Amino acid sequence: MKKLFCYCVIFFFTFNTLKAARIYQMIYHPTIKQPDIQTKKEIKSETLPKQTKKNGLKETLNYLRNKKNKTDKDKNSLSFLEGMNLQ
């Protein structure tokens, strides 16, 4: 009961359970090795180049040009994009 009270007092001053447990362990069990905490390693990821609006519109224009069955809406969009002179 005394050890539990001691832990509660330590926790009251530290407000961190991990720190309180380590301090408690140093007081009552100093010979036990503390396990190393592994932190997350930074993962290097390749970022794709940002797609600009112009490049997105060019891709849309190429898609609409290569589409076999064009609806009326596709035709209107195609004529609008061609009018923007994206090339």
Each residue's pLDDT, cut to its tens digit, for the chain (87 residues) gives 888 888 888 888 888 888 888 888 888 877 766 666 666 666 666 777 777 888 888 888 899 889 999 999 999 988 888 888 765
The answer to whether the predicted template modeling score (pTM) of the entire model surpasses 0.75 is: no
Residue 86's pLDDT is 63
What's the rounded Cα separation, in Å, for the pair 9 and 31? Answer: 22
End-to-end CA distance of the chain: 80
**CA–CA separation, 44 vs 26, rounded Å?**
37
Tokens of 32: 């036990």
* Burial class, 33, CB count within 10 angstroms (exposed 0-12 / middle 13-18 / buried 19+): exposed
How many residues in total does the chain contain? 87
